[in-house]
Amino acid sequence: MNTAISNRHNKMDATIFFGFLSLYDGLSAQILRQLSYTTLRFHLYQVGKQYVDDYNLFHKVYVASISGLLAGTVGIPCELINTRMHVDRLLKVKYRRNYRNVFDGIHTIWRNEGFRALYTGGLCSFTRATLVNIGQNAMYDQSKIMYKHYFDWDDDCKILHITSSLTAAILCAPVVQPIEILKTMQMNRSAGYLTTTSEKITYMMRFGFRGLFRGITPSLLRMIPQTIIMFLLYEQLRIQFGYYEEKVD
């Protein structure tokens, strides 16, 4: 009797442990994606800003669009694997991919589906990358300009950085959410359901207009802290290790 109870408790503990680990499915793909795609879009955006009017929102949107689009070409394979690893546990056993990590995912897709399959959902991913770069980078810079003007905050003020990044995240999440849903379904089209674009759109709209924004709450809970931490770290690195042009008298 005691042995049976002990075994049942051990199974429960194992279920809880592995259930907690499932919260981090796709972590290796996400880390590699951030190291490549996010780094590149930040760099391209900062370089592009040097050639436009920093106070013109449309100029920043243009630069953010181009830099997000170019960086998206690097991040699509990692995003594909990250998306598939997220939903793998929800699929029927025969449709599961069981990627061990991002590198196993890249190798498996290339071997079984071909190189082009690494860019499945590429159009949605390109669109998302563009919208995210506009919503985060361009809106962050524009928010900084507005808050500095109205509240007379210093450029290196942490309150300014937090407020601007919070604004950018709140604006970005609802803009990106519809294409995020479509991208997820597109990248999982080989899972045996929703194989055509019309099926995907019908599925999204089954709840009416609000179907475009299903999952917006967890999206905000992810994007707000991620955006704040990202820009806080960026600003601190800029302050500590950036450079300033010498003023010649």
Burial of 62 (0-12, 13-18, 19+ CB in 10 A): middle
pLDDT at 14 over 50: no
Q: Are both 213 and 135 inside the same structural domain? A: yes
CATH of the domain at 87: 1.50.40.10
Do 231 and 157 fall into the same domain? yes
Give the integer Cα–Cα distance in Å for 185 and 205: 13
Count Cβ atoms within 10 A of the Cβ of residue 132 and give its class: 0-12 exposed, 13-18 middle, 19 or more buried.
buried
pLDDT for position 185 = 77
Least confident of 61-75, 95-109, 139-153, 181-195: 181-195
**100 and 140 belong to one structural domain:** no
Average pLDDT over residues 15-43: 77
Task: Answer yes or no: do 145 and 234 share one domain.
Answer: yes
Is residue 114 domain-shared with residue 185, that is, in the same domain? no
Domain residues for 171?
122-248
Query: So what's the pLDDT on residue 6?
Result: 52
Same domain, 137 and 87: no
| 131 and 244 together in one domain | yes
| CA-closest candidate to residue 86, choices 94, 96, 76, 74 | 96
The total number of structural domains that make up the chain: 2
User: Is the CB of residue 29 less than 8 Å from the CB of residue 90?
Assistant: no
Per-residue pLDDT, 180: 86
Lowest mean pLDDT among 112-126, 142-156, 180-194: 180-194
- Terminal Cα distance for the chain, rounded: 88
- Boundary residue ending a domain (64, 92, 120): 120
Q: Which helix (H) or strand (E) holds 163?
A: helix 158-187
Same domain, 12 and 112: yes
Point out the domain boundary residue: 75, 99, 120.
120
Q: What is the CA radius of gyration of the chain?
A: 21
Q: Check pLDDT > 70 for residue 249.
A: no
Q: What is the pLDDT of residues 153-202, one digit of tens each?
A: 988 899 999 999 999 999 999 999 988 888 877 776 655 555 666 677 77
More confident residue, 207 or 111: 111
As a whole number of angstroms, the distance between CA 126 and CA 79 comes to 11
| DSSP helix/strand/coil, 126 | helix
Pair 104, 150 in one domain: no
Q: Is 140 found in the same domain as 27?
A: no
Percent helix, strand and coil across the chain, each rounded to 5? Answer: 80, 0, 20
Of 98, 120, 142, the residue at which a domain comes to its end is 120
What's the chain's average pLDDT? 83
- Does residue 16 share a domain with residue 56? yes
Residues 131, 31 share a domain: no
